[in-house]
Amino acid sequence: MKKLMSFIILVALALTVAGCSTNKDEASIIIYDGTFSEMRIVHQMVKMVVEDHTDATVDIRDEMDEVNTFKEMVAGNVDILNTYDGTLLTTFLKLDTADIPAGMTLYDYANQVASAEKGVHMLDKLGYENTYAVGVLPATAEKYNLKTISDLAAVSDQLVFGAEHGFYTEEGSMKYGPFTKFYGLNFKENKPLDLALKYTAIENGNIDVTIVYTTDGLNKQAGLVVLEDDRSFFPEYYDALLVRNDLFDRFSDVAPNLEEVLNSLGGQFTEETMTDLTYEVDVNGRTPEEVAHEFLLNKGLISK
């Protein structure tokens, strides 16, 4: 009886090990979704092109903020993140534009450091920049004769600033404290807001000045005047897929062409294109899946 039980236990262990091995081999590429439409659209495109052109699957999980997603990626729990070279440099790596060696681009330097120190790197740029910008209503721009961010300095004590909570964090140098110090701004009040409420707040007069993103469809709807960053405080923010260095080796059996497939998204977008895509989601109420699928079909990047 003891021999029989030992045999059963051994068989069970063997099956468990085999099952674990199978699950590991068939594991999905893991993505945690972003907190705004642009990231969600691109993540859906990643899933669609990968599953159309390889035998790999992509698991898009519930949204997580970028900083925590990056930490999980470095820990080995996330495979791909749609982000920006400026975010990689200033927020994830906690470096600044002054650290970039002469003759190197922000993208190349951030990639070099990230690969060497964190085991991750960016693929080809998707083709557009989505940098921070400062927006005001047309009436506010006219009343105070605002054309540049420097123009705000003389009247900031009469204005209320508002932005999403993430702009007030200490993660990285491109945030509220360094920004206001750099431009000498002293707003009458500043209000952290939920991202979804920011545009309503400025349209209703609850705030006067806000941070926008250059490819934000809601900014297009609101018709805000974007003030020129005349002293070049904000760095480049070119979009690209950030991946773990070991991704392509791990999926070489089921997706030997994975790098090529992901880079098929490179250079496919302009600022205008991405603004239109986010507008479809944020203003017209379409899903990121619908918008991503339509775009990829029209570009011939997926077959159905």
- pLDDT at residue 138, as a whole number: 95
- pLDDT at residue 26, as a whole number: 53
- pLDDT at residue 11, as a whole number: 41
Token code pair at residue 60 = 């898009």
- pLDDT at residue 184, as a whole number: 96
Model-level pTM greater than 0.85? no
Spatial distance between the Cα atoms of 248 and 259, rounded to a whole number of angstroms: 7
Spatial distance between the Cα atoms of 209 and 212, rounded to a whole number of angstroms: 10
- pLDDT at residue 18, as a whole number: 41
Per-residue model confidence as pLDDT tens for the chain (304 residues): 444 444 444 444 444 444 333 333 457 999 999 988 999 999 999 999 999 999 999 999 999 999 999 999 999 999 999 999 999 998 899 998 889 999 999 999 999 999 999 999 999 999 988 778 899 999 999 999 999 999 999 999 999 999 988 888 766 667 888 899 999 999 999 999 887 788 899 999 999 999 988 777 777 788 899 999 999 888 888 999 999 999 999 999 999 999 999 999 999 999 899 999 999 999 999 999 999 999 999 999 999 8
- pLDDT at residue 10, as a whole number: 46
- pLDDT at residue 170, as a whole number: 63
